[in-house]
A and B are shown apart, each in its own frame.
Chain A
Amino acid sequence: MSEALSRVLSGQSWDEFCDSLKAAGRTILRPETPATEIDRAEGWRYLSRLTRAALERMLEFADPDFPEFYALSHETIKIGSDNPDNDYRNCIIAGDRDYRVRGTRGTAPYLSFGTKAERYAIDGTQASTGELYATNMQFEPDGSFEIILSATPKPGNWLPMAADSSMLIVRETHFDRAIEVPATMSIECLGRPAKPAPLSAEKLDTGLKSAAAFVNGTAKAFADWMAIFKKTPNDWTVLPQETWTRIGGDPNIFYLWAYWTLAPDEALVIETGIPACEYWNCQLNNYWDESLDYRYLPIHVNNHTARLNADGTVTVIIAATDPGIGNFLDTAGHSNGCAMWRWVRSEDQPIPKCRVEKIANLG
């Protein structure tokens, strides 16, 4: 009997999965994390969400011969400042195979495809191994398209992979979901076997181990970032952009992160001029880098939704109550958390100015 099989039959695989999840709880209790009820409650929920994401990633959508798109971030799974304007699609790939993505463009203003060598579970990194943007792609007159993913160059729409590419990330950015038509797409491994193999004890054992490692690794990676952002509260932490492409960021995007901490009567006022760019947005996250609940609350603003000042600049207000000026983002019961600014395909990357004011003194 293989070791994996005996681990499965004895229940050891499952027991270790549960024990390893339990160990991830240490991250939520690290000394620098906020000891408030809401941040702790959301911390435990965050771990449970990472568990769902991890089981999908490592167990259910883990066959590179039969990949299918799933979403590692959406309304109720949120990782690493997930963009509320995005529909994310993720899928497993393997650099030694070729894939074909077929779909329809839809009308979302921004659509990008990136292949990544995913090492979240190992060292928290996710290196870019190929990028393709809708602006550089060919589409049929009816909007349909085809992309070949391959480690060797291909004619037409080609998305490069490296030997260790393991994940495809698709970012579809909407300015206004109410009027834009979403893209559709599916993926197929070329030259795949006729039918998927049944689940083996080895795959289950590895899947559960990897899932628990993903929960631990992801929670730790973003908690580590927050510890760094915390050193300059209520202002952007400006780091070289390679930092973010190394963990799965889109190379077209200039990312700024900030830790914010505010008393109930305080507001973080952010002001900037707007350079020529394809898209920008600013969003509010909790301490665990989950976007706040954008289904129900005003927690982000973009180039389409923002109300600009008379001089063309923009003011964003992060606060518990709306002072009636600028673009209000609702902290919704949180006293601290993370904020992100994105400049996308931007001619210039100004650093928006931040200052803390009493809400009563605004407006």
Chain B
Amino acid sequence: MTDSAADKAMTAKMWDEFCDTLKEAGQVVLRPEVPANAFDRTLGHRFLAGLLRGGLEMALDYANPQYPGFFRLADETKKMLNDNPDNFYQNCVIDGRYEYKIYGTRGTVNWFSIGSKGSSTDISVMVDTGNIDSSQMTFEPDGSFVIWASVEKKPGNWLPLAPTSRSLVVRQTFGNRKAEKIADLNIECLNPTAPNNNPTPESVQGGLIGAARFVKNIGLMTIEWQERYKAHINKLPSDNQERCQRAGGDPNIHYYQSYWKLEPDEALYVHLDDIPECHTWNLQLSNYWMQSLDYRYFKINVNKFIAHYEPDGSVIILIAGRDPGPKYKNWLNTLGHGEGGMLGRYVGAKSFPKEMKCKLVKLADLA
């Protein structure tokens, strides 16, 4: 006979199972696919610790759709699945059976979008159920706004939900992260039925185990994806867009996702000579765990607004462990890593090149 959540709450069983599941998730870092060097294995454990924090917020602290709040599954110290250094991400657990008011102020961020996502039993699958972005919205003269999120269409700014919608993903996309102010977002459920936001043994049990499983599953999924991208090391072909969308990708974005691996004397020379008309584009470096490198202190990504352009309008990007010299103004620093993930994006474009062109070069051969 299995214990009920209430039974497990009265003994330490609930907590013990959480700690045991978390411990088991640690085995992810020791898998044979993971580069067998101290740095990547060390970062692997910090990756898990970050997933744990995000997982607990999602599954436990912000898990009640009747008392929702925005939280951040990916931020400066919680990173996963090639999180975009040009984005301020926010997440929210909702339920399409309720209605919501999202309100706030516009800020000065270049662009933001809110997508509603449907439920799935597979943690790697998120179904798109509706979107709204700042270019489609109306704002008051002081920059304030209201968005209604509901299944039934509402006048004004409306974010469509499906009865199966279970979460929101917000992407606030910067042109220049250091200079722009994010939109301030708040959310309220308009028709809660529960009198308060108290946890129950069931909700805590579900939250703890959900978080520990999230750590393990995202860890394993990352390894699986990187194995796939290793098939085209140092190339940046267009990714399977459908698979990217299922994992929570933005339908406005066309993704180029891959794996880089460089010797200390090598560089990856990326030449974007066919950039389509778009809201923005960018290219970022990540570590083996698909975590964006530390963009707070280092230049590890380049975008439409901060890039240096050649006279012909094309962009040359150098990915290398040391400065390739003043001729290469778009140098992305690999920061002591020997291999990792990389991701290119064309946002809001109507046509897409097959790849972002890359070639492997010796640093010594660069003029």
Is B10 engaged at the interface, CB distance under 8 Å to the other chain? Answer: yes
A-B pairs under 8 A by CB, number: 143
Contact with B along A7-35 (1 / 0, CB 8 A): 01101011100110110011011000001
- A332 B204 Cβ-Cβ under 8 A: no
Q: Is A232 engaged at the interface, CB distance under 8 Å to the other chain? A: no
Q: Are B52 and A55 in contact (CB under 8 A)?
A: yes
Contact partner of B197 (CB less than 8 A), chosen from A56, A59, A199, A296, is A296
B12: which A residues are within 8 A, CB to CB?
A: 22, 25-26, 28-29
Q: In chain B between 304 and 337, which residues have their CB closer than 8 angstroms to a CB of chain A?
A: 335-336
Query: Known contacts A21-B22, A37-B200, A41-B200; is A196 also within 8 Å of B45 by CB?
Result: no
Contact A201 B42 (CB under 8 A): yes
What count of chain A residues pass the 8 Å CB interface test?
51
Indicate whether B46 reaches chain A with its CB closer than 8 angstroms: yes
The reply to whether A14 and B26 form a contact with Cβ atoms under 8 Å apart is yes
Q: Considering only CB atoms and an 8 Å cut-off, how many residues of chain B contact the other chain? A: 54
Q: How far is the CB of A60 from chain B (nearest CB, A)?
A: 4
Q: Is the CB of A37 within 8 A of B10?
A: yes
When distances are taken between beta carbons in the complex, the residues of chain B under 8 Å from A14 are: 23, 26, 29, 45, 48
Return B81 CB to nearest CB of chain A, in Å. Answer: 18
- Would you give the shortest CB distance from B4 to chain A, in whole angstroms? 10
0/1 interface trace, chain B 6-27, chain A, CB 8 Å (1 if under) = 1001111011101110110011
Interface presence of B266 (CB below 8 A): no
B296 CB to closest chain A CB (Å) equals 8
When distances are taken between beta carbons in the complex, the residues of chain B under 8 Å from A201 are 38, 42
If A19-B19, A28-B15 touch, does A60 touch B56 (CB 8 Å cutoff)? no
When A8-B45, A76-B62, A296-B67 are in contact, do A195 and B298 touch as well, CB less than 8 Å? Answer: yes
Q: Contact mask A124-161 → B, CB, 8 Å, 1/0?
A: 00000000000000000000000000000000000000
Say yes or no: A25 contacts B15, CB within 8 Å: yes
Residue of A nearest to B6 (CB): A37
Chain B residues near A175: list those with CB within 8 A.
none
Docked CA distance A9–B26 (Å): 11
CB distance from B302 to the nearest CB of A (A): 19
Q: Judging by beta carbons under 8 Å apart, are B204 and A41 in contact?
A: yes
| Chain A residues whose CB sits within 8 angstroms of the CB of B52 once the complex forms | 51-52, 55
Is A35 a contact partner of B204 (Cβ separation < 8 A)?
A: no
Chain B residues 134-175 with CB under 8 Å of chain A are none
- A-B CB proximity, top 6 nearest: A14-B26, A18-B23, A22-B19, A76-B61, A60-B77, A25-B15
